[in-house]
Structure 1
Amino acid sequence: MTGQQRRPGGKRPQQRHTRQRQSRGASVVGQEHTVEVGQVAHGGFCIARVDGRALFVRHALPGETVVARITEGTEGDRFWRADAVEVLTPSPDRVEAPCAVAGPGRCGGCDFQHVRPVAQRALKATVVREQLVRVGKLDPEHPLVAGLQVEDCSGGDKQLKAGLRWRTRTTFVGLPGGAKGMRKHRSNDTVVVDDCLIARPDADVVGDLVTHEVTAGAGSHRYQVAADGFWQVHPNAPRVLVDAVLEQLQPQPGEKALDLYAGVGLFAAYLAEAVGESGKVVAIEGDAAAVQNAKRNLGPWRHASAVAGGVAEVLREEYDEPFDLVVLDPPREGAKQAVVAQVVDRAPRTVSYVACDPSALARDVALFEENGYRLTALRAFDLFPMTHHVECVAQFTRLDSGRR
């Protein structure tokens, strides 16, 4: 992505590095092949074939005929990576990239600058469906799979609707002479960027703490967040996600809820208000600084607490009791077996899972299904326009939810 993002739920920015693969013969970098582009795949590229070998092509669209220039690969590799450097038969969804530094060999921050926004969402929906079927083992005719659409989150804002000016925080590479830049795709090389079109002009943060006010369907809450702490980068994301989670959980007075990977307590505050003083909310987060802010943000509710520690570790040692509701917003790698096992051990009637990686979500869908929880709702949101990233909110309901 362009720069680094931090998000509620403790999603730390991933370090930029390219894994060095063992050489399997002579390099083919720079070779050009005319190919017909196939389906979109997870990661911001489409798949083509060269003599039976998979070719992962960026800057292309399904159905196009392009000249693909190899950017990574050797003669013995199972697949190669490439850029579409010439489009011979364009897709009707292709547009001129609004950004002057987008395209082959340029800034690697955006994957879909060459795609109409509505078509970007269709591509992302295709990827989520494919992951749920291939990794999550769901039937492609499952109504939540077949009917999935990625929702526009612009809220009517003209620039947001165009996929621009949505990043409230952007990290640039400092360059000599005071210039700033972005990394090329899968590279430490930089491209000078005078104006990142997906960054908001007011993206800079001053001071140690920032206050965010979130107005969702259930009311408004204010949150203190460290200037370099975890918070969504799309301005509409907190509202969109809170509304989706509350719609799935339907918290009731007196219920007990767990907020896992809780960040500064975005979901926990709304849950605490909904369950009331007769209920209980426990927010668990691995980042100690975020927990301190969560404690302040949850201050009005004596029945809500924030705990520092790894989610799996804390749940192995504490809170070994039934909970009615669980919301979890894990990092990009997902919750995995250890956390899923601890969640289902609390026998919640329903779980709302916020996911920023469809592959990790699909794996965890399979884990929940194996443990007696059925996928009963799924929504996807375009909170990262121009990139291949997509946010999903999935609901799991216990198959024997009528019995405790």
Structure 2
Amino acid sequence: MTDAPATATAGQQPTAPQPTEVVPDVELTIGRPAHGGHFVARHEGRVVFVRHALPDERVRVRFTETEPTASFWRADVVEVLEASPQRTGHPWRPADALAAAARGRAAVGGAEFGHIRLGEQRRLKGAIFREQLERLAHAERTPTVEAAPGEAEDGLGWRTRAAFAVDRSGHLAMHQHRSHEVVQVREMPLAVPAVNALGLWAIDLTGVDRVDVAVPSGGGEPLVLLVPSAGTHPRRVAAIAAAITGASVAVLDPESGRVQRLKGRTWLQESVLGVDYRITGAGFWQIHRGAPETLVGAVLDGLQPAAGERLADLYAGAGLFTVPLARAVGPGGAVLSVEGSAGTVRDARRNLHGQAQASIVQGRVDAALGRWSDPLDAVLLDPPRAGAGRKVVGQIIAARPRAVGYVSCDPASFARDLGYFLTAGWSLDTLRVFDLYPHTHHMESFARLLPPRA
């Protein structure tokens, strides 16, 4: 699974220190794309990772991280001197680096490829994926990045989950990239229309630190989760909930994941290929409205599960893949479902009610595999952004399945794990890469791996 939960923020939370010295703006010529939403340039012999650029452009940049002893620096484009023909107008002003620079601030995160034509975004993502495979797995493959079925021509209106900060005036805001600073926003064009239709921008949210919004992929009533500030009186939270119309509202404890109902319900019902799922509160679910069906289709086509087989679904979430796999193997088969989150496991148990062939385990994947002694015909894994790691890959190989399906949201961790399989004699058979995050650098992939021939 991607490690972006059902309430994933549309921008990135601060993770890096501020610059240690002031370096004047400079002109740079931009080179190749790099994983993480950056483009590579050089300044006085030092590598600079530049955001909001395009290959072969001549730009003026403002440095954002300049640690003197660091092997690379970071910078944002503030002016384009020689533009690429693939540059286009950004669809969301707060995330437009050039517009933000003109106002003396940095852009918010969450749409760092918005200045690039959509077809070129996908070409660049394919090049980045290829580079990660070559560098980390020593594998040669040039994937074609597929759009989700039914994707809008402008790549907007796909996001069913988003999270917002609240600024000091009590209005919705987004974090600037890698910063504690926030910028007030009054729209989220990457989100499905139902998110914007709530009009949360107009509500006084004083007393709340964060607002998460989730909408069922197929439509239906949204769920708004409020994270109150420390010391906010429950009456104030109740007043905010009363001002929100057209949605269920609950309080979210971000530490435990528990939700407290204020009005409506605390869960969403999703439907994928005729199967209904219940997702509680901030439980994990794919963000793009078309992602669940796209990925379930890729998994079933790739693994071809058969009646009576024994399968494992690792990092299984609420059972997006476990349910169709359990149906495919039938009562005579077995599916081991492993997930770490207690709340998500509760959802999985509800979603798999009546399917006795599914064994649902809460806990670490390596621990669950260490206790599982039965042979496995096939294994599916959908790890978080960090990937599975050497130990889990070794355990999967030791189970000697006929095939492994690997769903990934990060080409770097996937390529690293793929390298472990290839070193053990396995082969990369099928690779599909999906553009399930238009206008961002993120992508999703499905790979089928096959064991050495006997």
| TM-score, normalised via structure 2 length | 0.80
Could you say which residue in structure 2 is the equivalent of 1:133? 134
Could you say which residue in structure 2 is the equivalent of 1:270? 324
* Residue 223 of structure 1 pairs with residue 224 of structure 2: no
Kindly tell me: are residues 15 and 202 of structure 1, through their superposed partners in 2, closer, same or farther at Cα, counting changes over 3 Å?
Answer: same
Distance 2:170 2:71 in 1: 42
How far off is 1:350 after superposition? 0.3
Kindly tell me: are residues 192 and 7 of structure 1, through their superposed partners in 2, closer, same or farther at Cα, counting changes over 3 Å?
Answer: closer
Kindly tell me: are residues 13 and 294 of structure 1, through their superposed partners in 2, closer, same or farther at Cα, counting changes over 3 Å?
Answer: farther
DSSP-derived class of the 1:170 partner: strand
What RMSD in Å do the two structures reach over aligned CA positions? 2.1
| Structure 1 residue corresponding to 2:157, chosen from 159, 165, 169 | 165
| Structure 2 residue corresponding to 1:71, chosen from 64, 71, 79 | 64
> After alignment, is 201-210 or 247-256 more displaced?
201-210
How far off is 1:13 after superposition? 11
Kindly tell me: are residues 372 and 351 of structure 1, through their superposed partners in 2, closer, same or farther at Cα, counting changes over 3 Å?
Answer: same
| Structure 2 residue corresponding to 1:149, chosen from 144, 147, 151 | 144
> After alignment, is 194-203 or 354-363 more displaced?
194-203
Runs of 4+ in 1 over 6 A off after TM superposition: 11-15
On the 8 A contact 2:10/2:164 being kept in 1, the answer is no
Distance 1:192 1:222 in 2: 36
Could you say which residue in structure 1 is the equivalent of 2:412? 359
* Residue 393 of structure 1 pairs with residue 446 of structure 2: yes
| Structure 1 residue corresponding to 2:424, chosen from 359, 365, 371 | 371
Distance 2:68 2:417 in 1: 36
Could you say which residue in structure 1 is the equivalent of 2:399? 346
How far off is 1:15 after superposition? 8.4
Distance 2:95 2:422 in 1: 41
Matches within 5 A, 1:53-132: 53-104=46-97, 105-132=106-133
Deviations 1:322-342 (A, max 9, x none): 100111000110000111111
Distance 1:131 1:336 in 2: 16
| Structure 2 residue corresponding to 1:298, chosen from 340, 346, 352 | 352
Aligned residues: 378
Could you say which residue in structure 1 is the equivalent of 2:34? 41
Could you say which residue in structure 2 is the equivalent of 1:202? 194
1:276 partner letter:
G
> After alignment, is 296-305 or 334-343 more displaced?
296-305
Deviations 1:111-136 (A, max 9, x none): 11100111111111111110000011
Distance 2:188 2:431 in 1: 32
Distance 1:13 1:109 in 2: 5
On the 8 A contact 2:303/2:403 being kept in 1, the answer is yes
DSSP-derived class of the 2:47 partner: strand
Kindly tell me: are residues 7 and 331 of structure 1, through their superposed partners in 2, closer, same or farther at Cα, counting changes over 3 Å?
Answer: farther
Q: Which runs of 5+ in 1 are unaligned?
A: none
Deviations 1:326-361 (A, max 9, x none): 110001100001111111111110000011111000
| TM-score, normalised via structure 1 length | 0.89
How far off is 1:299 after superposition? 1.5
2:164 partner letter:
F
> After alignment, is 274-283 or 195-204 more displaced?
195-204
Distance 1:173 1:55 in 2: 29
On the 8 A contact 1:109/1:182 being kept in 2, the answer is no
2:62 partner letter:
R
Overall identity of the aligned pairs, in %: 42
1:323 partner letter:
L
Could you say which residue in structure 2 is the equivalent of 1:184? 176
On the 8 A contact 2:161/2:191 being kept in 1, the answer is yes
On the 8 A contact 1:32/1:70 being kept in 2, the answer is yes
Could you say which residue in structure 1 is the equivalent of 2:236? none
2:321 partner letter:
F
On the 8 A contact 1:380/1:391 being kept in 2, the answer is yes
2:35 partner letter:
H
How far off is 1:231 after superposition? 0.3
How far off is 1:156 after superposition? 2.9
Could you say which residue in structure 1 is the equivalent of 2:293? 239
Distance 2:422 2:137 in 1: 9
How far off is 1:157 after superposition? 4.5
On the 8 A contact 1:5/1:170 being kept in 2, the answer is no
Q: Which runs of 5+ in 2 are unaligned?
A: 98-105, 196-212, 214-222, 224-247, 249-264
Distance 2:147 2:372 in 1: 38
